[in-house]
Structure 1
Amino acid sequence: MNIQNVTVIGAGSMGHQIAMLSALAGFDTNIHDVNEEVLKQARHKLNKIMDKWVGKDKISMEERDRAFEKLYFTTDLEEAARHADLVIEAVIEKLDVKQDVFEKLDKAAPDHAGLATNSSTIVSSLIADVTSRPDKVCNMHFFFPPLVMDCVEVVKGEHTSEETARLAMDVCKRMNRTAVLLQKEISGFIANRILFAIQKEAMALYEDGYADFKDIDKITRKALSHPIGPFELMDLSGIDVGYYVMLQQYAETGDPKDKPSKTLVDKVEAGELGKKTGKGFYDYHSRI
């Protein structure tokens, strides 16, 4: 299929950057969010990022302006999806919310349009059945932050057609992103299953009093050569994101080991969600 129009649903930390990747690739791109203020913030953030790219000679001013000309912001989902050849959903990591979005997209998007979820853990087979086009549904898992991270996990469920998987891979290539195709589904995919294993062990060591979270981060950086430690990464990606992922995994498995730890629950209840709120494990107000 000749993809010309891409729609991104959700203008949060992932969605607005995925939309800019799409616009930079030359696709006419609609970015939708139910909240007008979130759309305004998304535009502001993208302006700052692209201005930095121009300043660092990563792109020209002409390329920057051309990308913004391809980018349309709207709170109207039907308008956003009306001409889409591919829709990428990037809303909160809650299954019921995603199912509701896909049910609406199935009615709003053209019959030929592919529907992808950017979920970091929820497999698309849990979503596809609410649509009349399960063969056109797949996962396209971009990594945070999408404008920096050169990897996308494209996950093909039993319901996903070869054509849809090829379409997702081709779009990633045009976005200048390295796509890896997973031939069958597994919750959490590849990268996050490895990452969550590290984070769970780090949290257990911290809660059992073996070391302070700052020292666990330090050991991870210095001894294992990770660019940042597990607690720093939780702060960067959003503690609530990991919390909802674990809730979803627990709902699927029923295994108590998959439940969020007490520390994560306390952080979410206190509104200490990481860098985006100014405080998580670390206090970012003092770092400004």
Structure 2
Amino acid sequence: MSAENIKKISLIGSGIMGSQIAMVGALAGFDVVLQDIEEKNLKKAEKELRSRLERRVSKGKLAQDELEQTFSRLTLTSSLEEAVTNTDFVIEAIVEKVDIKRAVFKEIDALAPGNAILSTNSSTIVSSKLADATTRPEKVCNFHFFNPALVIEMVEVVKGPHTSEETANTAFHLAKKLGKTPILLKKEISGFVANRILGKLMNEAIYLYENGYATAEEIDLACTKALNHPIGPFALIDLTGLDIHYNVRMQRYEESGNPEDKPAETIIEKVNKGEFGRKTGKGFYVYS
């Protein structure tokens, strides 16, 4: 299959990443199905996506009829069967737990057409950990967007040892058709390129914070004003979610066994308090 043959895309998981990737596809002219097991999550996603596009309309960046046409290409469903039965390309964006992802991939494999590509948006769990849960490992890869997916241009396509050249090339060119700038990793490594570099920066930022060298606000200012980053590391953790950060680090620690890969004590304390960042109104910052 080539990218030109892809007409329908299925997103599994309607969280921040899944819903925004779905909208990227619909804006690019694809028929997209957004699936989640919880109806309330789908309703929340639809409300937030419509709000985002309405802001674009108010700023003159999108016409009202384009907004309606975009939503006409987006289908929301709680049925996995409905989501993938006639799909060409699946993007999984559910919780960062290997066992749950494997179960979902196995189910999708049984329901989706034989020529459909099955991808994961995860940057932590490489697709070789999921591919053997399917009967089509050569059609499984990582297809990693960045948060917020509607804004950030980069997509990382990762070719695992099981992934065929055709699948990797199709995913790479699909990213271009979605209006993104892709890079293709020829082999797997947890975290890929951008997040491995970002992880080192976050480690140092948390070290400086925990040892009292500077506040979170000051460290963020150093990154935005001195290094010209668009957002500081603590504001970014709040944006993506401290719970997500915690799960990613725990997954990496379980793989490596290296205590240095564990979540920092500050992260653990805030997660235990339910302070996940923007989504809960408090993380390293307080949000109204």
What TM-score bracket applies, with the shorter chain setting the length? Answer: over 0.9
Q: 1:3 aligns with which of 3, 6, 11?
A: 6
Partner of residue 179, structure 2: 176
Paired letter, 1:89: E
Q: Per the alignment, in what secondary structure is the counterpart of residue 105 of structure 2? A: helix
1:110 partnered with 2:122? no
Partner of residue 138, structure 2: 135
Equivalents in 2 of 1:63, 1:178: separation in Å?
A: 23
Partner of residue 262, structure 1: 265
Partner of residue 283, structure 1: 286
Equivalents in 2 of 1:80, 1:95: separation in Å?
A: 21
- Deviation readout 1:45-65 (Å, 9 max, x if unpaired): 111111111222222222211
Partner of residue 15, structure 1: 18
Equivalents in 1 of 2:224, 2:25: separation in Å?
A: 33
Report 1:1-288 matches (<5 A).
Answer: 1=1, 2-285=5-288
Equivalents in 2 of 1:168, 1:53: separation in Å?
A: 28
Equivalents in 2 of 1:240, 1:267: separation in Å?
A: 9
Paired letter, 1:76: S
Q: Per the alignment, in what secondary structure is the counterpart of residue 152 of structure 2? A: coil
Tell me the CA shift for residue 6 of structure 1. 0.7
Equivalents in 2 of 1:71, 1:212: separation in Å?
A: 43
Q: Per the alignment, in what secondary structure is the counterpart of residue 102 of structure 1? A: helix
Equivalents in 2 of 1:213, 1:178: separation in Å?
A: 31
Tell me the CA shift for residue 226 of structure 1. 1.4
Paired letter, 2:151: V
In structure 1, runs of 5+ residues without a counterpart are none
Paired letter, 1:210: Y
Task: Return 134-143 or 95-104, whichever deviates more.
Answer: 95-104
Percent of aligned positions with the same letter in both sequences?
A: 53
Paired letter, 2:209: Y
Paired letter, 1:105: I
Tell me the CA shift for residue 214 of structure 1. 1.6
Q: Per the alignment, in what secondary structure is the counterpart of residue 16 of structure 2? A: coil
- Deviation readout 1:75-103 (Å, 9 max, x if unpaired): 01011110010000011112122111111
Equivalents in 2 of 1:62, 1:172: separation in Å?
A: 25
What is the number of residues matched between the two proteins? 285
Equivalents in 2 of 1:215, 1:60: separation in Å?
A: 40
- Deviation readout 1:145-202 (Å, 9 max, x if unpaired): 0100011000011110111111111211111111111111100000000001000111
In structure 2, runs of 5+ residues without a counterpart are none
Tell me the CA shift for residue 282 of structure 1. 0.6
Equivalents in 1 of 2:214, 2:83: separation in Å?
A: 49
TM-score by length of 2: 0.97
Equivalents in 2 of 1:172, 1:54: separation in Å?
A: 25
Q: Over aligned residue pairs, what C-alpha RMSD do you find?
A: 1.0
Equivalents in 2 of 1:226, 1:266: separation in Å?
A: 27
Paired letter, 2:17: M
TM-score by length of 1: 0.97
Task: Return 180-189 or 225-234, whichever deviates more.
Answer: 225-234
Equivalents in 2 of 1:172, 1:131: separation in Å?
A: 23
